Structure 1
């Protein structure tokens, strides 16, 4: 049985439509984030796929830090987990938990957990806070990002999305694509993965077509 191109492309179109629907509900694009490190373990591991939403999307509006009273539980801990993109050149977006908000000029180490701070305010480049923003931390890390030098105080405008839940292991494909793009470039990666997808789709269509043809022939013999 010969399949036309529209039938071969149907699964890819369906996946794209699902992504568009999820994005319209979540208010963020892309609506999924592939986790590339273990800094949010054990709740979120490398290779997991995290569904995200915009920070002001109903009913998840606003940003809440882990230290705030009544902080919601997100991904196994108190406080919102956010994706933020520091302006420093070459750094990839980071997905960590908000610890607490800070104001410009504040010595935020005075209300920080001492076990998560390396030294006093004078020893930390991001202290006092140079502007209003947030102190953040990866759940698996032993220090706040701003104490460890992972990120400066996070401005609200750097935050691109808020994490809702994680699906184990579904992010490995995205991690592989990103690694391939970094190694060989966007166009060769697109051609390579496109070729693999086309071959897989063609083989699957051929296989299912033969199975269907055999069933039809068998049914006709049994009549």
Structure 2
């Protein structure tokens, strides 16, 4: 085989891979109703439910009006729209128009400008599936190879999930909170206070007290 034939073969293979990845990507966008159907967890604010480098599959077809307390959602940070956040819905502030407040499971409180006010404009989608630790690929490989691999893996996982209808082990985040796991869930929430604070979000909380009492409490802790 001469060099010209080899070059044509390589180009052909690259085109096949590119078309395949593009097809998977478009398919995921259509299936989940969002321009970016997956996100990589970048902080520890949702530990232990979500770990850093977990990949989230986001369902954009879930209407904002149907979001309820306890749902884990992905949204643009209200203050500045400069960051994508994944937190749990903590309360419904207003019904018409709907405004919600969120909070990271590992955070001591909701953060103004980050956790609320969340409206339909900030809402991206509800977390539908979690693929543990696959986001490490983004650290090992550089673009576009890391994204190609993630898209392929996510595509395969989704196809398998659809064909089985329901996975046996926890790709669906709702499986973490079924009746069978109610005792485990209660224990999880009771242990949140013992978790190490997420550095990024706890910095926001500590540097911007909500009231004078919080400021006093923070200063007392520093003296201790």
Q: TM-score range by the shorter chain?
A: 0.5 to 0.7
Bigger RCO (CA 8 Å, 6+ sep): 1
Matches within 5 A, 1:52-201: 52-56=58-62, 62-65=66-69, 79-89=70-80, 91-103=82-94, 132-146=98-112, 150-174=114-138, 193=143
Q: Normalising to structure 2: TM-score of the pair?
A: 0.53
Tell me the secondary structure at the aligned position of residue 26 of structure 2.
Answer: helix
Residue 44 in 1 paired to residue 50 in 2? yes
Q: Normalising to structure 1: TM-score of the pair?
A: 0.53
In 2, are the aligned partners of 1:55 and 1:61 still within 8 Å (CA)?
no
For structure 1, the 5+ residue unaligned runs are: 66-78, 105-130, 178-191, 198-223
In 2, are the aligned partners of 1:54 and 1:161 still within 8 Å (CA)?
yes
1:83 and 1:160 mapped to 2: Cα distance?
Answer: 5
In 1, are the aligned partners of 2:54 and 2:132 still within 8 Å (CA)?
yes
In 1, are the aligned partners of 2:103 and 2:115 still within 8 Å (CA)?
no
1:132 and 1:175 mapped to 2: Cα distance?
Answer: 38
2:46 and 2:139 mapped to 1: Cα distance?
Answer: 16
Provide, for residues 81-138 of structure 1, a one-character-per-residue CA deviation record: whole Å limited to 9, x for no partner. Answer: 111113433631111011120129xxxxxxxxxxxxxxxxxxxxxxxxxx85111011
1:145 and 1:152 mapped to 2: Cα distance?
Answer: 7
In 1, are the aligned partners of 2:62 and 2:126 still within 8 Å (CA)?
no
2:107 and 2:22 mapped to 1: Cα distance?
Answer: 35
* Shift, 1:22, TM fit: 1.6
2:126 and 2:139 mapped to 1: Cα distance?
Answer: 20
Tell me the secondary structure at the aligned position of residue 12 of structure 2.
Answer: helix
Matches within 5 A, 1:11-22: 11-22=17-28
Structure 1 residues 151-160 or 91-100, which shifts more? 151-160
- Aligned twin of 1:28: 34
> What is the root-mean-square deviation in Å for CA atoms of aligned residues?
3.0
For structure 2, the 5+ residue unaligned runs are: 147-224
1:35 and 1:175 mapped to 2: Cα distance?
Answer: 12
* Shift, 1:6, TM fit: 2.0
Label 1:162 to 1:174 Cα distance change in 2 as closer, same or farther (>3 A).
farther
Label 1:102 to 1:90 Cα distance change in 2 as closer, same or farther (>3 A).
closer
